[in-house]
Structure 1
Amino acid sequence: MCGRFTLTDSPRAIGERFLVDALEPFPPRYNIAPTQPILVLRADEHRRAGDGGVRRIAHLARWGLIPGWTKDPSTIPLLFNARSESAGERNSFKAALRHRRCLVPASGFYEWRREGGRRGTPFFVRPRAPGPIAFAGLCETYLAADGSEIDTAAILTTHSNAALADLHERMPVVIGPDDAERWLDCRDSEPRDVVDLLRPAENAFFEAIPVSERVNAVANMGPEVQEPVEPSSKPPGEPPPAAQGSLF
């Protein structure tokens, strides 16, 4: 599950890693929530990078996909996440998975460990290596009755890796820079051609840090939401020990 994430890396760092030109300056965002605008990257089929790859275009989209067939968005649930295992079978997502795949740049995400049946300690889950990452996303442009257009997006999730499984059973799909072109190529590839990318990150990719409960409130948008706190139990995110081989 991914209900909050961050984007604090610089536009330059994002542009260099994911082949985006002329990103407009933007402030760091420490507590991005559904329905807010998020940065998405899509392939620009009309322009090629110097190495032959497709350049990317960046734009803002509402975090919460509205399917194109929707007549009244108030009648559908908030679709900010999509299960990668079933997105190709659901009417809400299958057209976007085929034609409008995107990347959602991020610096990390938040997850809450369940404690006694309720939402407990929040954790900031961030990559161990420096630099921005990108979640697999789906885009859809909703045409309202008044003729206005709303760009919307959802983040694809998969089952958690072993390191984060005790924190939550789901995690966002991460698309590495080397796989970005294949993921974004909706012209020459179909969903079956990229299904292998919809997998959990390696166990050592993320670390999870217990943080202040300030992140629970959407109104708290500063760096203080990432202040570490003492965990109530062993924090997740440590790679599991290697299994001892069996002699039988």
Structure 2
Amino acid sequence: MAITFNARSEGLASKNTWRGPVKHSRAILPATGYYEWKTVGKTKTPNYIHLPDGPLFFAGLYSWWRPKGSDDDWALTTTIVTRPSTGDVAELHDRAPVILPPDFVDEWIDAGAEGDQTLVDDAVAASTPQLEQLEFHEVAKLTGDGPELVNPSI
């Protein structure tokens, strides 16, 4: 099993790594926000991205696998589905997470439905209004793990 960070939505259901998880192992990865770095020349500046009201529901995939050399231990891995950016966040990065509106969450994780590329494409379409509502602001260099990480930099 290869370790992956994100899964591009385009053609996702046809890729060997993601075919099974798209069919049966879809997840919601909730968050209050995420970080993206705007690069200008050699300077990278962190930005905190969030919705003005409420949490983000990232479309995700998961899989269980057994690491090489292990007879007993299993590892759970997850990935966030990504799409081309739209709206203001496109100035930070050309990719963005698929952020589902609350009314699409149940459809994404419906265990009785076999997922396919149509479901992935529907999730991407449903995420467009969410992306266009995102707000972001520059934050100080990311150090530590406290709530101050989301405060605007001065």
Q: Normalised by the size of structure 1, how large is the TM-score? A: 0.56
Seq. identity, %: 31
Q: Structure 1's 134 and 209: CA in aligned 2 closer, same or farther, altered over 3 A?
A: same
Q: Deviation per CA, 1:110-153: give whole Å up to 9, x if none.
A: 0000111x351110001012x22210000100123222111110
Q: How do 1:25-44 and structure 2 match up within 5 A?
A: none
1:161–1:201: 8 Å Cα contact kept in structure 2?
yes
Aligned to 1:102, the other structure's residue is in SS state: strand
Aligned to 2:78, the other structure's residue is in SS state: strand
- Moved segments of 4+, more than 4 Å: none
Match among 124, 140, 150 for residue 226 of structure 1? 150
Q: CA deviation at 1:170?
A: 0.6
Mapped partners of 1:162, 1:224: distance in 2: 26
1:155–1:172: 8 Å Cα contact kept in structure 2?
yes
Task: Mark the structure with the bigger radius of gyration.
Answer: 1
Aligned to 2:87, the other structure's residue is in SS state: coil
Q: Find out whether 1:207 has 2:135 as its counterpart.
A: yes
Q: How do 1:1-248 and structure 2 match up within 5 A?
A: 70=1, 76=2, 78-116=3-41, 118-129=42-53, 131-144=54-67, 145-194=70-119, 195-199=121-125, 200-202=127-129, 204-213=132-141, 215=142, 217=143, 220-230=144-154
1:207 is matched by which residue type in structure 2? E
Q: CA deviation at 1:222?
A: 0.8
2:123 is matched by which residue type in structure 1? L
1:98–1:186: 8 Å Cα contact kept in structure 2?
no
Aligned to 1:93, the other structure's residue is in SS state: helix
Which structure 1 residue ranges, 5 or more long, are not aligned? 1-69, 71-75, 231-248
Higher helix share: 2
Which structure 2 residue ranges, 5 or more long, are not aligned? none
1:110 is matched by which residue type in structure 2? Y
2:152 is matched by which residue type in structure 1? P
Mapped partners of 1:128, 1:161: distance in 2: 17
